[in-house]
Amino acid sequence: MQLTDDERAMADGRDGPAVQRAMDLLQRYGRALGAERLVATNNIVASVSATTPFMRDFARRKGGMDAVFSEFSLDSADVVTIPKIRAFTTHTQLGFVPDEPERMGVDEATVQFYRQGEAFITGLGVQATNTCTPYQVGNLPTRGEHCAWMESSAVIYCNSVLGARTNTEGRESVGAAMLTGRIPYWGYHLDANRRGTHHVVLETTVESTSDWGLLGYWIGDQVQERVPVVEGVKCIPNLARLKHFGAAASSSGGVEMAHLVGITPEAPNLEAAFGGNRPIETLRFGAAEHRATWEKINATGKDTQVDYVMLGCPHYTMEQLWEAARLIEGRKVNADCELWIFTARAIKSIADQNGTTKILEDAGAHLMTDSCSAMSRAVPKGTRVAAFDSAKQAHYLPAILGLQAWYGGVDECIDAACTGRWQGRFA
């Protein structure tokens, strides 16, 4: 792999052993991927927190948080002292909500260990945003900017909505990128890999957030890891609809880049989106596909009595919290049901300040940050049937926790929370 003089100096130890280990990791990783060089990045979304009992034991045996970072983020058997990070880094979601240990079923020792780790990484310079939606809370890269992001729903948003460039990175590669400001130059960093491969023609109206989730879910299923080009968007989607679309497409398939013609910065028209590629296939999303996807995603839903409603996957926007508050104000969550809503810390602080949190909590909902049910594997005790406005959550939770899932709009979910019954219908 070709290295610049600065990269060679880092690899030779100029900036200390941790940076040297990071360069070693990036070179091994890049060679495995066939990358010819690295690319500079100053935008990382990383998970480098320490939350598991295994890591806690490891830290105790091997010498604290430097040891945890060396082993789990640098793939280094030797414990090296971790210096301040070189590239701007925000933290992605956690495996539980540290402020809600009881609800999450997490013991105090685990929370204390997390807090110790949080102090360590923030001391290095990491921003503890703890969200899967970094673009909502200050990490908003510009078109063409090279990034190194974890979290599939954020990656597709970064590539497809913002026009910035990232692959779906892992804990080790972002750990190394934070210390060096470099990431292998391959995959979606390269123009050639960003061009469309499949032509998707919309033949039915896709408007609501629920519709966008269904469209994403159908596309992911059809194209898997390729690059769809979606033509025929008539109702311009807002932030929430785009994030639900991307989260769904990266759940049913592994879509990391999609072109929405007229919306994606690199897709002002069909020709630009394909960039000279001949589409492998033309797919049509009409009324029949729309309904079939709704039926597929609701396939596990059998009992209409709902024990749990979860909103906030990906983490809710300010607008979605406001909408949920408007829908539930003056009502109460049913005694036999729970409503949990997840958002980013920074957004909750606004909701706390403007009274949104109070409206939700007065109705009996719980507004939480930093994680979600799928990530924390936490749902209210005894949950058998759950309802979601997120295709991603409806996709994963039946598989992870064996529960029945209903999928619908936020209005249907709030109704289910307040009545304890699922009455959603395909609209």
Q: Does 372 bind ligand F3S (CB under 6 A)?
A: yes
C-beta closer to ligand F3S: residue 27 or 250: 250
Please give the residues from 205 up to 224 whose contact with ligand F3S meets the rule CB under 6 A.
none
Least spacing, CB of residue 209 vs ligand F3S, in Å: 14
Least spacing, CB of residue 314 vs ligand F3S, in Å: 4
Q: Does 392 bind ligand F3S (CB under 6 A)?
A: yes
C-beta closer to ligand F3S: residue 20 or 130: 130
C-beta closer to ligand F3S: residue 153 or 264: 153
Q: Does 247 bind ligand F3S (CB under 6 A)?
A: yes
C-beta closer to ligand F3S: residue 29 or 217: 217
C-beta closer to ligand F3S: residue 91 or 194: 91
C-beta closer to ligand F3S: residue 62 or 345: 345
Please give the residues from 154 up to 193 whose contact with ligand F3S meets the rule CB under 6 A.
none
C-beta closer to ligand F3S: residue 153 or 356: 153
As given in the structure block, the two tokens for residue 198 are 């499949």
Least spacing, CB of residue 1 vs ligand F3S, in Å: 33
Phi, psi angles (nearest 5°) of residue 387: -130, 145
Q: Does 153 bind ligand F3S (CB under 6 A)?
A: yes
Window of 114-122, 320-328, 329-337, 371-379 that interacts with ligand F3S by CB under 6 A: 371-379
**254 burial level (CB within 10 Å; 0-12, 13-18, 19+):** middle
Please give the residues from 332 up to 361 whose contact with ligand F3S meets the rule CB under 6 A.
342
CA distances from 392 to 250, 334, 425 (A): 8, 25, 19
C-beta closer to ligand F3S: residue 185 or 396: 396
Please give the residues from 276 up to 315 whose contact with ligand F3S meets the rule CB under 6 A.
313-315
Phi, psi angles (nearest 5°) of residue 159: -75, -45
Interior angle at CA 20, CA 16 and CA 23, nearest 5: 145
Least spacing, CB of residue 73 vs ligand F3S, in Å: 19
Torsion of CA 296, 297, 299, 301, to 10 degrees: -160
Window of 65-73, 291-299, 324-332, 369-377 that interacts with ligand F3S by CB under 6 A: 369-377
Window of 134-142, 194-202, 350-358, 372-380 that interacts with ligand F3S by CB under 6 A: 372-380
Size of the site for ligand F3S (CB under 6 A): 13
CA-atom Rg of the chain in angstroms: 22
As given in the structure block, the two tokens for residue 228 are 């769809």
DSSP assignment of 109-176 equals HHHHHHHHHHHHHHHHT-B----S-GGGTT--PPTT-B-EE--HHHHHHIIIII--B--B--HHHHHH
What does DSSP assign to residue 53? H
Closest CA to 148 of 134, 128, 168, 162: 168
d(C-alpha 126, C-alpha 94), whole Å: 14
Instruction: Check the CA dihedral 304-309-314-319 and report its sign.
Output: positive
**66 burial level (CB within 10 Å; 0-12, 13-18, 19+):** middle
Among 132, 137, 337, 417, binds ligand F3S (CB under 6 A): 132
Q: Does 318 bind ligand F3S (CB under 6 A)?
A: no
Q: Does 93 bind ligand F3S (CB under 6 A)?
A: yes
As given in the structure block, the two tokens for residue 160 are 């497809």
C-beta closer to ligand F3S: residue 219 or 261: 219
C-beta closer to ligand F3S: residue 87 or 375: 375
Phi, psi angles (nearest 5°) of residue 281: -160, 150
In the complex, the residues that contact ligand F3S under the rule CB under 6 A are 93, 132, 153, 247, 313-315, 342, 372, 374-375, 392-393
